[in-house]
Amino acid sequence: MQNINWDRLPFAYFKTDYNVRCYYRNENWGEIEVSSSEYINIHMAATTLHYGQEAFEGMKAYKGKDGKIRLFRWQENAARLRTSSEGILMAEVSDELFFKMISKAVMLNAGYVPPFGHGASLYIRPLLIGTGVQVGVNPAHEYLFMVFVGPVGPYFKEGFNPVTMQIVKDIDRAAPLGTGHIKVGGNYAGSLRASERAKKEGFSAVLFLEAKEKKYIDEAGPANFFAIKGNKYITPKSDSILPSITNKSLMQLAQNMGLEVERRPVAVDELSEFDEVGACGTAAIISPIKKIVDRESGMEYLFCKDGKAGPVSQKLYEKLQAIQFGEEKDSHNWVTILD
């Protein structure tokens, strides 16, 4: 193993020693296989390549001061992967298989879990693809479920520093009754054009609107959106949003802190009334947003006027990280210690 500078890790692919794979054939999942190859060998007519039968998950393993490796709410990721499977007709992965696969992938690469104190963690990427051969548009009969891992630093290069977002109306991420609520690769392919343009124009990500009316906020790039207004934690409700486990956890922590939680359609017009706004997801946990610009109208909304995250976002972030790293009592039973 090479020497890793834990303080300078990007959020990027990082080669580790092993990954794990499990094949679904003849209506059954096979044995878990361990591989040290970064490549997979699949048929050129596999459904994942042509018709987008692909879903993924993103989660992290955290090492505490005690040296123990912790998973955070993995059961939620397993359940969400099944919702994704259901949405695009793929074979389902049970909780048992999901846990065996992720824990094996983490433990085989235990030396890559960043030690406590660097803000870094081990990113876990479970991936489910249709490998069966189809030329007509049909779901595959064979699937590959695999998990690879890699140490990562903060998602946004600014770290826990405020980011900027662009509202766009000429590109939608997901259709109202489409696949926005499941974690499938196709949603990302469709959003690349908007997000690359936003980056070129100087923004960190796109704030996508609900596609039907273009009045309400949907997703903050690859993350959920939330706002703080007085004593309220407000987050959009929409059929085309991917239900973030981070957001779900922040809603609980906000409630514990005595905030009122509102999950409802959030109109763009309301942005001017919010005290703090942010994006949340496993990768960045919370990215406070300092500026939102509507690309069409030029309208600007400014936050974090002192250049820092707002006090509520800061507190929520610290609370959640403290639980994930085992610094604080896990009173909701969110953490699984691997040994």
Ligand X SMILES: *Cc1c(COP(=O)(O)O)cnc(C)c1O
List interacting residues with ligand X (CB under 6 A).
58, 183, 219, 222-224, 242, 244-247, 281-282
Nearer to ligand X, 58 or 64 (CB): 58
Cα–Cα distance between 141 and 305 in angstroms, integer?
Answer: 54
Cα–Cα distance between 237 and 263 in angstroms, integer?
Answer: 5
In the complex, minimum distance from the CB of residue 68 to ligand X, in angstroms, rounded to a whole number: 22
Cα–Cα distance between 209 and 174 in angstroms, integer?
Answer: 9
DSSP secondary structure letters along 35-70 = E--S-----TTBHHHHH--EEE--EEEEE-TTS-EE
CA Rg value for the chain: 20
In the complex, minimum distance from the CB of residue 5 to ligand X, in angstroms, rounded to a whole number: 25
In the complex, minimum distance from the CB of residue 223 to ligand X, in angstroms, rounded to a whole number: 5
Cα–Cα distance between 240 and 242 in angstroms, integer?
Answer: 7
Cα–Cα distance between 124 and 105 in angstroms, integer?
Answer: 8
Nearer to ligand X, 166 or 244 (CB): 244
Cα–Cα distance between 250 and 286 in angstroms, integer?
Answer: 9
157 is catalytic: no
Cβ of 290: how many Cβ atoms within 10 Å?
24
Cα–Cα distance between 39 and 23 in angstroms, integer?
Answer: 15
Structure tokens at 326: 């085992």
Cα–Cα distance between 246 and 106 in angstroms, integer?
Answer: 20
Nearer to ligand X, 142 or 187 (CB): 187
Bridge partners of 285? 281
Q: Which of these is catalytic: 60, 183, 290, 291?
A: 183
Nearer to ligand X, 25 or 197 (CB): 197
Nearer to ligand X, 29 or 316 (CB): 316
In the complex, minimum distance from the CB of residue 41 to ligand X, in angstroms, rounded to a whole number: 27
In the complex, minimum distance from the CB of residue 176 to ligand X, in angstroms, rounded to a whole number: 15
Nearest in space to 233 (alpha carbons), one of 141, 313, 167, 173: 313
Q: Are 223 and 90 in contact (CB under 8 A)?
A: no
Nearer to ligand X, 82 or 183 (CB): 183
Structure tokens at 49: 């390549």
Q: Point out the residues that are catalytic.
A: 183
